[in-house]
Amino acid sequence: MEEIEVRTQLRGDRVLHLQLLDGQARVLFLDTTEMAQRCADLHNASPVCTAALGRLMTGTAMLGAMLKGENESVSVTIRGGGPMGSLVAVANGTDVKACADDYSVQLPLQANGHLDVGGAIGHSGRMTVVKDLGLREPYIGQCELVSGELGIDFANYFTVSEQQPSLVALGTLVSGDAVLKAGGLLIQPLPGCAEETIDQLELRSPMFADISRELAAAPMDELVNGWFRGMKPELLEERSLRWHCDCSRERMERALISIGRKDLQEIIDDDRGAELQCHFCGAAYSFTTDELKALAASAEDR
Ligand code: ZN
């Protein structure tokens, strides 16, 4: 049987949404190199922190790619007890951003030559996924961290919290300050998936285990056609992704209002104004005492 090969159009950061064997499994394949570089540059991140944030953004972008509505978003918080502290990434269908408590962590390489992402994040703790689907209450899913390397943690999240068995590979290939490649692959068997298809995917999984090196070696469509030969890979959608922070003065105003009238009044009494900095992009927003007084008028008593 002659197979139609997958051909992609876009360049740069993007997510490919594919199906295998007429819908027996779905595949998300992401290149997140540019956003990982942008994040590293903004935060002046060390190589291992760059790798950790790159992997987290890629996994979060997978969740973002599965959102249906335009105004929906998802945030993933990792608290693993490691020297990076907490890590947070936020994504919608196209935009991704991330931050951490500490970007300066340096650790020896692991025995296999890989950066010690698990050491930087920590090996035990929690992964929290909050999906804002535009409803009154957000969806919140939580699970224990399995390793802190993140690929296996995202797989565990999908399997345990969303009851969706998943194969996840996440990778960021870093050299000094440069992100050579970052990306990830998600494979999910769908209802009606044959046992032999699952066996085939497991058999082939070593091929995409080191996903950033794979991405560095060949174009995405070539990789897909090779990995899934004989499994009828079909490209359903191709979408650009980007680093983007949606912080704004209005958001910062809301944050100030949310601390309550009493705390705001203390800042007003200090009469030095307030300067807020966005954790994700570093943008600074300053407020004068008069502006704070106006905000206090709309704040609630706590
Ligand atoms: Zn920002």
Ligand 1 centroid to residue 43 C-alpha, Å: 12
Give the Å distance between the CA of 92 and the centre of ligand 1: 15
Q: 214 pLDDT band (50/70/90 cuts)?
A: very high
What is the CA(83)–ligand 1 centre distance, in A? 23
Q: What is the pTM of this model?
A: 0.94
Distance (angstroms) between ligand 1 centre and the Cα of 277 equals 8
Q: Ligand 1 mean position to 70 CA, how many Å?
A: 20
C-beta separation of 28 from 239 below 8 A = no
Residue 248 Cα to ligand 1 midpoint, Å, equals 7
- Span from the CA of 282 to the centroid of ligand 1 (angstroms): 6
**Span from the CA of 253 to the centroid of ligand 1 (angstroms):** 14
Calculate how far, in angstroms, residue 290's C-alpha sits from the geometric centre of ligand 1.
Answer: 24
15 pLDDT band, cuts 50/70/90, is very high
Give me the mean pLDDT over the 277-302 stretch. Answer: 89
Summary mean pLDDT of the chain: 95
41 CA to centre of ligand 1 in angstroms:
14
Residue 302 has pLDDT above 70, yes or no: no
**For residue range 257-272, what is the model confidence (pLDDT) as tens digits?**
988 888 999 999 999 9
CA 241–ligand 1 middle distance (angstroms): 17
Find residue 284's DSSP bridge partners.
277
Q: What integer is the mean pLDDT of 67-72? A: 90
Q: How far is CA 4 from CA 218, 231, 234, in A?
A: 19, 11, 8
Ligand 1 center to 121 CA (angstroms): 23
Place of tokens 């935060």: 43
* pLDDT tens profile 223-243: 999 999 999 999 999 999 999
**H-type alpha helices, the chain:** 33-43, 47-65, 117-121, 151-161, 195-204, 211-217, 220-227, 249-258, 261-270, 289-298
Q: Say whether pLDDT at 35 is over 70.
A: yes
* Residue 2: band (very low, low, confident or very high) from pLDDT cuts 50, 70, 90: low
- H-state helical runs in 136-210: 151-161, 195-204
C-alpha 283 – ligand 1 centre gap (Å): 5
18 has a pLDDT exceeding 70: yes
Residues 215, 216, 217, 220: what is their CA dihedral angle, to the nearest 10 degrees? Answer: 30
User: Contact 188/29 with Cβ under 8 angstroms?
Assistant: no
Cα 230 to ligand 1 centroid, rounded to whole Å: 45
Please report how the helices 249-258 and 289-298 are oriented relative to each other, as an axis angle in degrees rounded to 10. Answer: 60
Where is pLDDT greater, at 298 or 244?
A: 244
What's the gap in Å between 272 CA and the centre of ligand 1? Answer: 23
- Residue 93 per-residue DSSP state: S
Residue 246 CA to ligand 1 centre (angstroms): 6
Instruction: List phi, psi (to 5°) of 195.
Output: -55, -40
Burial class of residue 56 (count of CB atoms within 10 Å of its CB; 0-12, 13-18, 19+) = buried
State in Å: Cα 252 to ligand 1 middle. 10
Ligand 1 centroid–CA 65 distance in Å is: 21
Instruction: Please write the tens of the pLDDT for every residue from 175-198.
Output: 999 999 999 999 999 999 999 999
For tokens 């929690």, the residue is 126
